[in-house]
Structure 1
Amino acid sequence: MRPTDGCGPAPGTRLDAAVVWRNRALRLLDHNPLPIAVCEWGGRIMIVNRAMAAEFGGLPGQLRNRRILEYFTLRDNASLQTLAEAIRLHRRSQYAVGVSWTPAGGTERQGEMTVDLVSDTPEQTPNMLLSLRALDEPAARPVPTVPVPRPEASPIEVRILAAAARGATTARIAKEVGLTPDGVNYHLTRLSRRWHLPNRTALVARAYALGVLAPDTWPPEPAHPL
Structure 2
Amino acid sequence: MEAARQEAVLWRNRALTLFDRVAVPVAVCDVHGVVVLANPAMAAECGTTPGRLRGRDVLELFTPQESTQVDRIAQALRLRHRSRYQVSVRWRPPGGPERYGELMADPVSDTVEDTPALLVMLRVLGEREPLAEEPARVAPMEARILALLAGGATTAQAARKTGLTADGVTYHLRRLSARWGAANRTELVARAYALGVLTPGVWPPTPAAGE
TM-score range, shorter chain: 0.5 to 0.7
For the 8 Å contact 1:36–1:48, the answer to whether it is kept is: yes
Q: Which residue of 2 aligns with 1:45?
A: 35
Residues 1:92 and 2:82 are matched in the alignment: yes
Structure 1 residue 19: Cα displacement? 2.1
CA RMSD of aligned residues (A): 1.8
Q: In the superposition, relative to structure 1, how do residues 81 and 125 fare at CA in structure 2: closer, same or farther (>3 Å)? A: same
- 1:66-115 CA-to-partner distances (Å, cap 9, x unmatched) read 11122111111111112111211212210121011111224211001111
Structure 1 residue 20: Cα displacement? 1.8
Aligned residues: 129
Q: 1:121 aligns with which of 104, 111, 121?
A: 111
Structure 1 residue 137: Cα displacement? 5.4
Quick one: distance in 2 between partners of 1:45 and 1:106? 23
For the 8 Å contact 1:72–1:100, the answer to whether it is kept is: yes
Structure 2 unaligned spans of 5+: 130-211
Q: Secondary structure of 1:103's partner?
A: coil
Q: Which residue of 1 aligns with 2:60?
A: 70
Q: Which residue of 2 aligns with 1:57?
A: 47
Q: 1:112 aligns with which of 102, 114, 126?
A: 102
- 1:155-206 CA-to-partner distances (Å, cap 9, x unmatched) read xxxxxxxxxxxxxxxxxxxxxxxxxxxxxxxxxxxxxxxxxxxxxxxxxxxx
| TM-score, normalised by the number of residues in structure 1 | 0.54
Larger Rg: 1
Q: Which residue of 1 aligns with 2:142?
A: none
Quick one: distance in 2 between partners of 1:40 and 1:84? 12
For the 8 Å contact 1:88–1:125, the answer to whether it is kept is: no
Quick one: distance in 2 between partners of 1:120 and 1:75? 32
By percentage of residues, which structure has more helix? 2
Quick one: distance in 2 between partners of 1:138 and 1:99? 12
Residues 1:35 and 2:25 are matched in the alignment: yes
Quick one: distance in 2 between partners of 1:53 and 1:85? 28
Quick one: distance in 1 between partners of 2:32 and 2:44? 23
- 1:112-167 CA-to-partner distances (Å, cap 9, x unmatched) read 1111111111011111111111110599xxxxxxxxxxxxxxxxxxxxxxxxxxxx
